[in-house]
Amino acid sequence: MLNLTSLDTMDALKMAIQCEMDMKAYYEQVAKLVKNDDAVTILEGLAEKEEKHRLKLIRMYSRTSGKKILYLKLGKRHKLGTLQPCGTDPNEAVRQAKKNANELKNFYLTISRRMFESELRQFFREMALEEEQHIAILESSFIEPLTLDQPEMNDDNNVYREMAATDKDRATSW
């Protein structure tokens, strides 16, 4: 892993791109673990936002370096070591998603303080703000105690069953 104090602009952008790829994959994995449709929608939405961030970072990399990224194959050198992998428990995975989003926000804030160019400094601050929004979405959507490992109760079907049973009782009384 790179030392954040000696990180140059290109390495910072590459590392940020890798982080966004990692977070997108993380949200997709968590979405597969949960059994609640609303939770899946929220997590897939966050994965899409991470993909948009990745594309935004690639554009900034191209503009800053003058090079185009056709594909990105980065080694462990460009991984943010504080991001944790997704486990198998959906409740713990969502808790860890909150921590990972916070780690990424802190990474962006740290990088923004180290940038000499004001445009890049502002860019990384904006990225930190967007991660702050992800944290807010996670915090407001997943309130403790989490029960994401249980299938959601579909009350609509129960209501329809009760209505059908009542109609059946009326039909026999005529």
- What integer is the mean pLDDT of 136-153? 81
Give the distance, in angstroms, between the CA of residue 132 and the centroid of all CA atoms in the same chain.
Answer: 11
Whether the bond between 85 and the residue before it is cis, its omega within 30 degrees of 0, is no
CA nearest neighbour of 11 among 24, 2, 21, 20: 2
What percentage of residues in the chain have a pLDDT greater than 70?
Answer: 76
Nearest to 43 by CA among 138, 169, 174: 138
Q: What distance in Å separates the CA atoms of residue 46 and residue 40, rounded to the nearest whole number? A: 10
Tell me the whole-structure pTM to 2 decimals: 0.79
At 162, the pLDDT band (50, 70, 90 cuts) reads: low
Q: Which CATH code of 3.90.1150.10, 3.40.50.1220, 1.20.1260.10, 1.20.810.10 fits the domain covering 4-173?
A: 1.20.1260.10
Considering only CA atoms, give the Rg of the chain: 22
pLDDT of residue 173: 47
Task: Please tell me whether residue 156 adopts helix, strand or coil conformation.
Answer: helix
Task: Report the half-sphere exposure of 68 (CA within 13 A, side-chain side).
Answer: 1
- pLDDT for 90-104, tens place per residue? 889 999 999 999 999
Contact 87, 96 (CB under 8 A): yes
CA distance 14 to 48: 19
